[in-house]
Every structure is written in structure tokens, then in C-alpha cells.
Amino acid sequence: MRPMRISVLKGGISAEREVSLRTGAAVAAAFRGLGHDVTEVLVEGEDFRLPVGCEAVFIALHGTFGEDGEVQRILEGRGVPYTGCGPESSARAFDKLASKRAFVAAGVPTPEFAVCGPETDRPPMAPPVVVKPPRQGSSVGVTRVTDGARWREALGEALRFDDPVLVERMVFGRELTVGVLGDEALPVVEIVPHEGFYDYANKYTAGRTEYRCPAPLPPGATERVQAAALAAHRSLGCEVYSRVDVLLDADAAPWVLEVNTIPGMTETSLLPKAAAAKGIPFAALCERILGLSLDLRGGSDRKAR
């Protein structure tokens, strides 16, 4: 790829701002190492400004105003090519309720679910269940409910972030994630927290979680997990890349939880781990994402407004 003037959008307004800052810094460093002219743009809202001459934008914003399609709509309006999913597929993937409905329609295996609001005084299905705000990432506001006594507390926590909330039948099994690059599933990563489940603290506190890649799965399970991940990616109309979270139950059956359209992109993040296992170094992964995005949206001789 020829040297380009690339703007990396980082920060943002969501609960995942700190993670975004780390992703943005890592991506910017990778592109500079490849000889690109990189500007890191700290985003505080929709009035962010791009430098004159910007040829492409790498979106490193997680959560609200990153993965929900809004920043993508703004960039399309400005005529600037950007990385990853478009506005519509971003919005579908970001909204876990919309995702679940798309999974069911496409026959993607996903746990049974229900929709609840403040008036719901008991779990809609027998515990154990997981209570989630539909439009948050990084396990923000997520609570596991193993008996009805914790229901109101869990519902209240999720309602702090969204209304209505998603309630999902809990699947016990191995926690996995699958990167999708282009139209190919990368090696499966197994996530093994030392305690509890893969919540915000276990995700972002060093030493609290072990990662195994490629995941040591039973015969045939890797292929089933990758097929389910690709089916989920396609069911939402996702473009370029994503990371799909999957649980593998005791019968080695995969259950798709969600699709992340802007997964973490530091040297130690899960998508880069999977790419590395495939023989794709971090900088090459960043450039591959940019190249696939430019192929989709066209290279840019247009300048930012």
C-alpha cells in the first residue's frame, strides 16, 4: 500500500473511552511504522475535525458513537473512506436485540432471550440468566442472575444504561471468540478468566485472564464455531472485519452471543492474537483492514471537509 494520510479516531463518548484511547494509540503507531502519515484525532462528540488532506479514517472508537453507525454516517456525509462496517450493519450489530432477531431469522445458534423493562418484576425465564443493556460493550452493565433474589438488582444495573434490556438464557461452557477478516474466520481464541466470567475487570486487568489460541477444542468443534461466527457476521451484513463471541456448551455445540464491529486493537487484544496465529503481524493486520475498507468504499482522492 502506498503511503497515505490516515486519521485515527479515538476516545469518544462511551463507557469504553479508555479502551478506545489504547486501541487508537496502538493502531496509529503501527501505521507510522509502515511509513504512513498519521494524525490521531481525539473525539469528544460529532463535531470532530479531520486534518486537511486526510485520505482515509481508521475508526478506533468503541461503543456509543463508534460502533452504533453514527460516526460512519458522518464520515459518509463528508465523503471520507473509513474502516470497517457501514452505518446499517454497525447499528444492527451494536443493538443486541436487533442482532438476536437477525441471528434467529438466519438460523444462527444463539441462546433463548426475552426483552424486559422496569415493570418486569420477575425473570422472564427460569434462572440462571444473563441481564444485559442491549447497546453497550465490554460487558458494561451485565449481570449473571442465578436465582430470583438478585433479579431486581440486575435489572436495575442494566437499566442504568438502556431501556428495555435483554435477558438471555445462560449457557454454561467455554468462552470463545472468533475474528472475521474479509470473509474468512481466523483461529479461535479461548478466554479463561482465573475467577468469575469475562467481565470488564477480567478483560482489562493484566493477569486476570488466560488466552489460548488456537483454542484446544474437540475434533470438529473448531469448524463448527468458525461456521457459526461467519454465519453471524453475514446475518448482520457486516463488512471488512469483526469479532464474534461464542460459547461452546458441554456437547461441543456453539452458541453465538454477539458481534463486535470495532474490537480492541492493541498488540494484546483478541483479534490481533488470532491474526498472529494465522501469521498476520499487528501492523499488517491494521493495513489489511484499511485495504479491505478502501476496496469496499474506493480509494480517496477526495479531501476531508
Could you confirm whether 204 is annotated as catalytic? yes
Could you confirm whether 295 is annotated as catalytic? no
Catalytic residue (one of 168, 239, 258, 287): 258
Could you confirm whether 260 is annotated as catalytic? yes
Catalytic residue (one of 68, 95, 162, 245): 245
Q: 229: closest CA among 213, 210, 248?
A: 248
* CATH 3.40.50.20 domain span(s) along the chain: 5-84+283-297
What percent of the chain clears pLDDT 90, i.e. is strictly above it? 86
* CATH 3.30.1490.20 domain span(s) along the chain: 113-169
Q: Using the predicted structure, report yes or no on whether residue 149 has a pLDDT greater than 70.
A: yes
Catalytic residue (one of 14, 90, 99, 138): 138
* CATH 3.30.470.20 domain span(s) along the chain: 92-109+172-261
Q: Which three cell numbers stand for residue 48?
A: 470532530
Q: Which three cell numbers stand for residue 225?
A: 464455531
Q: Using the predicted structure, report yes or no on whether residue 303 has a pLDDT greater than 50.
A: no
Q: What is the CATH number of domain 5-84+283-297?
A: 3.40.50.20
Confidence (pLDDT) at 204:
55
Q: What is the CATH number of domain 92-109+172-261?
A: 3.30.470.20
Catalytic residue (one of 76, 139, 204, 224): 204
Catalytic residue (one of 264, 269, 287, 300): 264
Could you confirm whether 239 is annotated as catalytic? no
pLDDT in tens, 49-76: 999 999 999 999 999 999 999 999 999 9
Q: Transcribe 50-83 into DSSP letters.
A: PPTT--EEEE---STTTTSSHHHHHHHHHT--BS
Catalytic residue (one of 12, 16, 92, 168): 16
Residue 206: strand, helix, or coil: coil
pLDDT in tens, 172-220: 999 999 999 999 999 999 999 876 665 555 555 567 789 999 999 999 9
Catalytic residue (one of 5, 17, 243, 297): 243
Catalytic residue (one of 7, 20, 90, 260): 260
Residue type, 135: R
Could you confirm whether 112 is annotated as catalytic? no
- What distance in Å separates the CA atoms of residue 165 and residue 153, rounded to the nearest whole number? 13
Q: What is the CATH number of domain 113-169?
A: 3.30.1490.20
Could you confirm whether 122 is annotated as catalytic? no
Could you confirm whether 258 is annotated as catalytic? yes
According to DSSP H, which parts of the chain are helical?
17-33, 70-78, 87-94, 96-106, 151-159, 200-204, 221-235, 270-277, 282-297
